Amino acid sequence: MSSGGRRPSSRKGGHSDPRCRLAASGFRGEIWILPNARDLPASYEQRLFPVEERRGRLQLLAAADGRDGAVTIHQDVDLYGVLLDGGQQLRHELRPGRHAWVQVARGSVGVNGQTLGAGDGAAPSGERAVEISARLPSEALLFDLA
């Protein structure tokens, strides 16, 4: 998926199809990831990801190679979605040289011991793994970055 190297010009809008929302939370938003090359032809890709496939586990939503049914993007990033019930936790190992960003869509989670609420994000630094633990029913995105 590529905007052809264009940068976002508006924060308005978003997709109106409710199936494209993160789970049933009503959270809607856009995420822009700059491509790894300039002047790429514009492209568009859309997929529906069943909620149950990310309940209690990380589900790959976007990746450079499009593996496991993920949307293909032009960048060295793996984007995962997860739904956790209160008390659930998971761990994502980072390969050497990788970094992470966690964005909370709803609920409250601990990320490597730091408490985050809906709308919060964190970039665990110098970690070999990201540990996410839900304080309440929660939904989050994990970006595994180069």
Domain ranges of the chain: 18-36+43-145
Mean pLDDT over residues 85-100, rounded? Answer: 97
Q: What's this model's pTM, rounded to 2 decimal places?
A: 0.81
**Which residues make Cβ contacts (< 8 Å) with residue 10, sequence separation at least 6?**
none
**Tokens of residue 65, six digits:** 């190679």
If one compares 26 and 65, the residue with the highest pLDDT of the two is 65
Which of left, alpha, beta for 66 (phi over 0: left; psi -120 to 50: alpha)?
Answer: left
Tell me the pLDDT band of 8, cut-offs 50, 70 and 90.
Answer: very low
Q: What pLDDT does residue 22 have?
A: 41
Per-residue buried b or exposed e for 69-105, using 16+ beta carbons within 10 Å of the residue's own CB: ebbebbbebbbbbbbbeeebebebeeeeebbbbbbbb
Q: What pLDDT does residue 2 have?
A: 52
Residue 93 has pLDDT above 90, yes or no: yes
pLDDT digits (tens, 9 = 90+) for 104-145: 999 999 999 999 999 999 999 899 999 999 999 999 999 999
Domain 18-36+43-145 has CATH 3.30.1360.120: no
pLDDT digits (tens, 9 = 90+) for 11-44: 334 444 444 444 444 556 678 888 999 999 888 8
Q: What pLDDT does residue 15 have?
A: 42
